[in-house]
Structures are given as structure tokens and as C-alpha cells.
Chain A
Amino acid sequence: MSEVRRFLADARMVAARDLRIEFRSRVVVGQVVPFALLVLVLFGFALDADHHTLRTFASGLFWVAVLLSALLAVHRSAALEQSDGTMDALRMSGLPPAALFIGKATAVFVQLVLLEVVLLGGLLVLYGVQVVDPALLVVAGLLAGVAVAAAGTLYGALASGLGVRETLLPILLLPVLAPVLIGATRAFDDALGAVAVDGWAWTGLLAVAALIATVVGALAHGVLIED
């Protein structure tokens, strides 16, 4: 029992540290969130669209914007451990790699939720969408956020220290997130009343993806930061 509490305390400490760094540096709030909104606006320009077209594609565009922005957030999260020997210090600290993983993934998750909220505001204002099923929207958004944060943290740790992190991270991470993109888009289609699909079934897929990403990440993190 005390083992579990120790583990959770370690994870919470890491999450708090990453969020404190974010609070002080404002990289996600100041750069990643505006980038995500910019992507939404660019879609609007590129499709040269009326509200009707945008509403049809809203959920897909939303999740593409989330994934692209998540790449930046994950990149930032991994970069923290690459600055001035902090990864060596972490290895020396004896902090369990799984706790480190859960902590970092939680911090990324919090930032992604913030991102999703702002983007959703963008959808409502810019694309004129209407929320039909708020519960589905929230559950699907949170589960997809967990999956993206966990997979992103895993692959961020994997790509860091290779010297080609910037280019390698997207091609490793985006295919892994493809099922999440599909599931989240379908669930949002339902929640926004755009397409008649069973959003809750797709939310089940998201839950499975979130679970797998978290478990695999926690198990594999030790391998990734030691080698």
C-alpha cells in the first residue's frame, strides 16, 4: 500500500514540476494553443468554406488540429529532460521510470485538455457547431486526451536523445495515434450531431486505446530512458 502511495506521490511530484515549468515559461499557452487555433483558421481559409461545410468536417479538423498541436506539446515535454543534464540527474535520482512516465503524461494531459477546451471554443465561434451530446463530447475528449498524452510521452522519451527528435517524433507517433484520431472523430461527429454514428461505441475504442497506451508506456519507459 505504501508502495502505491509512494508511486503516486512521485508521479504527482513530476506532474506538478512539469506544470510549474509550463506555468512559468508559458510555452504551451503562449505558443501551442495559438498554433492550434491558427490551424483551425487555416482550414477555414483552405476549404474556402461556408458554415455548413465546416460543420460537416468540424470534428475531423478539430482532431487533426489537436494532434498537430500535441506534437509540439510532447516535444516540449521531452525537451525538458534534455536540457543541461536533467535526464542524467533523473536516472541518478532513483525515481521509478513508471512514476516519471505517469507524471509527465499527466502534465501533457492537463495541457491537452486546456488545448481541447480552447479549440472547442474555436469550433463554436468560428465554425458555428452545436453540441448535441455534451456528456459524449466530454468523455470522448478526455479519453482521447489520455491516449494522446500517454502515447506522446512514450514516443517523446523514445525519440529524445537520438538527435533527430524533431523529424522522427511525428512519423513514429502519428501512425500510432491514427486509431485515436478515427475514434475521436467519429465520437465527436455524433456529439456534434454532424453524422449519425454510435459515438459511445467509438468512445469504447478510445478507452481501450487510452488503457493500452498508458500501460505500455509505464512498462516501457524504463527501457527508453535507460538506453
Chain B
Amino acid sequence: MAGRDERPGNTGSRGSRLLGCVALASLVVLGVLAFFLTGPDVRLHPTTGEEFGQFDAVRMLYLHVPMAVLMYASFMLCAAASVGVLVKRTPWWDVMAHSTAEVGTVLCGLVLVTGSIWGRPVWNTWWEWGDVRLMTTLVLFLLFAGYLALRRTTTDPRRQERKAAVVALVAVLDIPLVNRSVAWWENRTLHQRSTLEELKIQDLTLFTLMFGFLTFGLVVWWLTLQRFRVGWLERAAIDHAVGSAIAERRSETSADELDAAIGVTDEQAGEASP
């Protein structure tokens, strides 16, 4: 997976370009499926015959639900990689943790945005403070925003890879809360127990949802791959700089300079101790 391209500074490879194209094409197909080919969610009340349901808003769920699932996946990968950092001090795990956290945070932000847009017509509000899943997801977003802020505090990632791993592992403790909140606090959420059960699943609806999972799986794979390669190249650049600095430092010791430097030091030592 590590960038073993001939040309340094390049994050692309044949495989990842192909993957990127397929992911892009899938996104277009998903858009067509979700916004044009599938029908709105309209149900008839069994007794009154009134129309109810989510109508066109349901289309947002084809994006929202897959993104939420892939967000969990990214953060779980980040947690696994963080364990790897703590157990084995190798850069691979750290770059992996950083990449997946960044992709997961972007997804988390998108989940909040798409959820908010979906909530406007369905719940009649952009933002529902009483909803526990919304709250716990927001907290998750903030936790990982803090993680990324920590990572940005230095240009040398090796200095805080283990600290970052601890922050990531604390942050993912929120995931079970997000995931189980709907079941644990039924009366405190507008989220459905499971969106799948509620919808009347027609063939195309189900297919679109599944296609959404596939599409976002590809997108996330591609993003993580790219981000990993950037991180790996950053590491390589630092290692290269350190390597040449070591060589330079070894060669800087010329006998004349040394004599001069120590001579000065000895003279000064008597009166001027720091």
C-alpha cells in the first residue's frame, strides 16, 4: 500500500486512478438512482387513507445512511490503527490512523449536514436539540476535530503519534453511544430505530440503498488511499531530511574548528558559566 511509485511526490497509481474513476462513476449513478429513478416515500394511512411518509426527503437517506455507516467504519479503522501505534511503534499505523480519522471526520460532517437537510422537511427543524443521536454524533465530530487539531500542532508527526492514539481511542468510545442511543433513549430521539424497517422496501429502493453503501465504500477507500499516500510521502520527506541532517552533522566536525571552539570554551569557562 505504501507509495512505491517510481516518481516521488506522486500519490496516484494505475489502480488508484481506476478506483477513483469507478468511484466517481458510481456517485453519478447513485445520484441518478436516488434523485430520479426511485420514487418518493408516500404511504397511505390504513384507516383514514391520508398520505403520509417522508416524500422526497427520503432521497437524502440514500446518501445519509451509507455515509453514516462508512463514518463508523473509518473511525473503527482509526481506533484499530491507534491500537497498532500503541503496540507497535511503526509509522504505517500512525499514517493509517491519521488518514482514517481525517476521512471519518469529513464523513461525520457530511452526515450532520445531510441529516440536517433531511430533518428540515421531515422533522420540521434543521436542528433538534432533544435528539440524542444528533447530539452524540455532534460530540463525535467535535472529538475528532480536537484530534485533528492535536495532529496539526506540529509538523513532525512522530512527536505526538502516541498521544494522538490515546485521543482517538477515547473519541471512539462515543461511537457505541451514537449507535445505541436510539435504542437506549427511545423517547429522546426522532431517529428511527432502523430506517430500513420503516421504509416500504421496494426492489429499487433497497437496491439504491445497497448501491449507496457500495459507492461510498469506493469513495472512502479512494480517499483513504490518497490520504495515506500523502501521509506516507510526508514521512518519507522527514526521514530523508533527518538522514541528510545526520550525514551533515557527522561531517561538520573538522579538527581546526573543534580546537578553536574548545579553546574559546576553556578560556571563557572561568568567568562566564551560563
Contacts and interface: CB of A to CB of B under 8 A. Distances in A.
Contact of A179 (B86, B150, B163, B177): B177
B166 A178 contact: no
- Contact residues of A: prevailing secondary structure: helix
Contacts of A212: 173
Given A223-B162, A224-B166, A227-B160, A175 B139 contact: yes
B134 to A, nearest CB: 13
23 contacts: A154-B166, A154-B170, A162-B160, A168-B146, A168-B149, A168-B150, A171-B142, A171-B149, A172-B167, A175-B143, A178-B135, A179-B177, A212-B173, A216-B170, A216-B173, A220-B166, A220-B169, A223-B166, A224-B162, A224-B163, A227-B159, A227-B162, A227-B163
Interface size class of A (residues with CB under 8 A): 20 to 34
A182 B149 CA distance: 24
B40 to A, nearest CB: 36
A164 interface: yes
Most buried by B among A172, A174, A178, A220: A172
Interface of A: 154, 158, 162-164, 168, 171-172, 174-176, 178-179, 182, 212, 216, 220, 223-224, 227
B155 interface: no
Given A163-B153, A178-B139, A179-B139, A171 B145 contact: yes
A175 B165 CA distance: 17
A162 B142 contact: no
Nearest to A220: B166
Given A158-B163, A171-B145, A224-B163, 7 more contacts: A154-B166, A171-B142, A175-B143, A176-B170, A178-B139, A179-B139, A220-B169
Given A168-B153, A182-B135, A227-B160, A175 B166 contact: no
Nearest to B174: A179
Nearest to B149: A171
Most buried by A among B139, B142, B149, B163: B163
B202 to A, nearest CB: 39
